[in-house]
């Protein structure tokens, strides 16, 4: 591992890409401290500390604390992620988007343009909704978060937050093109990692106040490694189905005849099922929390993942979206048609419908354990908050959940990118290779 890091700085092109990525990520983190005009950031930060386990707390985690501090990057990169996920779902449903995806480079460029336009529209809507929400002191216990409300503040907020997200989109694209890749994912990972010092500081205060004991902290640190291990298994595990291609004679040349395999991942959707599940579950709970009606507040507590029913519902939604997203990402009928078209077949399985049925059966069998493991890791922070009720979400999220899964998967993918650069130039990578075979 240490040799891999050392060798990565020996390659001039790779060293340049790493430095560019670090520089652009530093620009992002500096922007998270530039305040948005017209908002009392201190009062807003105190409010977020009172409601840490709602959708706002989760959104603040992905924004790297920019939302709770009311900075120019308050919306973060999540509007772009949301539009990308929606467009990906529409690609599998709407024929127009599917044709764009299959039309090569020009079609992908058109999809990227649609994603950007959709992101701008969503940012305008979210920025306006946030400005209206901030103007009402009733949402913050009669504390004036916006000293000078009005249309000037609303327009300024919409322009500021929308511009901030567009700038983050540009940063992500620059990291992808001129850095080590995965620009958008690295921005989200930097946001999550930036909350770690805050989480450790709050953990230290909880230990000092006697809310949790030191042995419990040691146990949770051990559990971090266990959760990381399961997260790696979820991201890396796959079932390899042997594929044989028939020989074809075209002119004087013989094509095909080789054997390969079809990989089916244990978890097709990554963290997307978790994002869908937590958004659907916490959105009504967050809205009901702001109500002054006691019954509605009780309903919000009932739906919160920190409670028993909310945790069960979160797990069910996670499993459901794992199956839903797997059926969209991996279509057995399309795969079967492609194999039949290019002369590929699974030994012992007839091409066509029989192959599609077999692949669907394998996919369902893999998705079940993958979805259960994903739900277990997602619920891990809420189990901790259930045992230690004084622990906020930002602390519990160190030990599992969406943040840890995103961090593990992005770091693994980044290591693969660096590994490929090193292997091309005959350097040893991060993973030792077997010699003398």
Tally of CB atoms within 10 A around 63: 25
For residue 421, which of 40, 45, 4 has the smallest C-alpha distance?
4
Tally of CB atoms within 10 A around 41: 16
* Measured CA angle at 182 (ends 405, 373), to 5 deg: 20
Residue 153: is its pLDDT beyond 80? yes
Which tens digit of pLDDT belongs to each residue from 259-309?
A: 788 888 888 877 778 877 877 776 676 666 666 677 776 777 777 766 677
DSSP H or E segment with residue 243: strand 238-245
Query: What mean pLDDT do residues 161-166 have?
Result: 93
Tally of CB atoms within 10 A around 227: 21
Q: What is the DSSP string of 304-357?
A: STTSHHHHHHHHHHHHHHHHHHHHHHS-HHHHHHHHHHTTEE-TTS-TTHHHHH
Q: Is residue 64 a contact partner of residue 194, using CB atoms and an 8 Å limit? A: yes
Residue-averaged pLDDT of the chain: 80
Query: What mean pLDDT do residues 308-316 have?
Result: 82
Tokens found for residue 180: 């080590």
Which tens digit of pLDDT belongs to each residue from 187-221?
A: 888 888 888 887 778 778 777 877 777 777 787 77
Which tens digit of pLDDT belongs to each residue from 226-262?
A: 888 888 888 888 888 888 877 666 666 665 567 788 8
CA distance from start to end of the chain = 22
Q: Is residue 280 a contact partner of residue 317, using CB atoms and an 8 Å limit? A: yes
Tokens found for residue 244: 């044989």
pLDDT (0 to 100) of residue 392? 65
Here the contacts of 292-298 (C-beta below 8 Å, separation 24 or greater) are 292/138
Give the 3-state secondary structure of residue 240.
Answer: strand
Q: Which residue has the tokens 């004991």?
A: 213
Q: Which residue has the tokens 């706002």?
A: 56
Domains and CATH numbers, the chain: 1-196+431-437 (1.10.3370.10), 213-387 (1.10.3370.10)
């Amino acid at each position: 591992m240490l040799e891999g890091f050392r060798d990565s700085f020996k390659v001039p092109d790779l060293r340049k890409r790493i430095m560019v990525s670090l520089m652009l990520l530093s620009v992002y983190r500096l922007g998270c401290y530039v305040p948005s005009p017209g908002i009392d950031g201190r009062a807003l930060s105190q409010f977020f500390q009172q409601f840490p386990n709602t959708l706002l707390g989760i959104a603040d985690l992905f924004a790297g604390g920019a939302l709770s501090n009311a900075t120019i990057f308050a919306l973060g990169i999540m509007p772009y992620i949301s539009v990308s996920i929606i467009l990906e779902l529409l690609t599998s449903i709407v024929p127009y988007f599917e044709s764009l995806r299959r039309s090569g480079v020009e079609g992908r460029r058109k999809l990227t343009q649609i994603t950007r336009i959709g992101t701008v529209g969503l940012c305008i809507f979210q920025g306006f909704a946030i400005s209206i929400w901030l103007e009402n002191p009733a949402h913050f216990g009669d504390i004036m978060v916006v000293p000078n409300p009005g249309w000037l503040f609303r327009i300024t907020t919409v322009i500021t937050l929308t511009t901030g997200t567009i700038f983050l989109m540009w940063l992500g694209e620059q990291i992808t093109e001129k850095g080590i890749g995965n620009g958008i994912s690295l921005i989200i990972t930097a946001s999550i990692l930036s909350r770690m010092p805050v989480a450790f500081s709050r953990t230290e205060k909880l230990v000092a106040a006697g809310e949790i004991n030191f042995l419990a902290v040691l146990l949770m640190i051990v559990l971090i490694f266990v959760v990381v291990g399961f997260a790696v298994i979820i991201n890396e595990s796959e079932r390899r189905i042997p594929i044989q291609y028939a020989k074809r004679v075209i002119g004087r040349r013989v094509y095909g005849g080789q054997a390969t395999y079809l990989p089916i991942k244990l978890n097709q959707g990554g963290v997307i099922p978790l994002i869908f599940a937590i958004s659907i579950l916490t959105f009504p709970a967050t809205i009901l929390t702001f109500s002054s009606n006691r019954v509605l507040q009780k309903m919000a507590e009932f739906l919160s993942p920190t409670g028993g029913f909310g945790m069960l519902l979160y797990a069910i939604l996670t499993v459901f979206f794992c199956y839903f997203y797997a059926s969209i990402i991996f279509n057995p009928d399309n795969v079967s048609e492609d194999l039949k078209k290019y002369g590929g077949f699974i030994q012992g399985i007839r091409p066509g419908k029989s192959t599609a049925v077999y692949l669907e059966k394998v996919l369902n069998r893999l998705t079940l354990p993958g979805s259960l493991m994903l739900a277990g890791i997602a619920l891990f922070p809420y189990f901790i908050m259930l045992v230690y009720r004084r622990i906020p979400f930002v602390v519990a999220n160190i030990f599992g959940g969406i943040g840890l899964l995103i961090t593990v998967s992005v770091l693994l993918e980044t290591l693969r990118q660096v590994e490929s650069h090193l292997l091309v130039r005959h350097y040893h990578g991060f993973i030792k290779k077997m010699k003398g075979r």
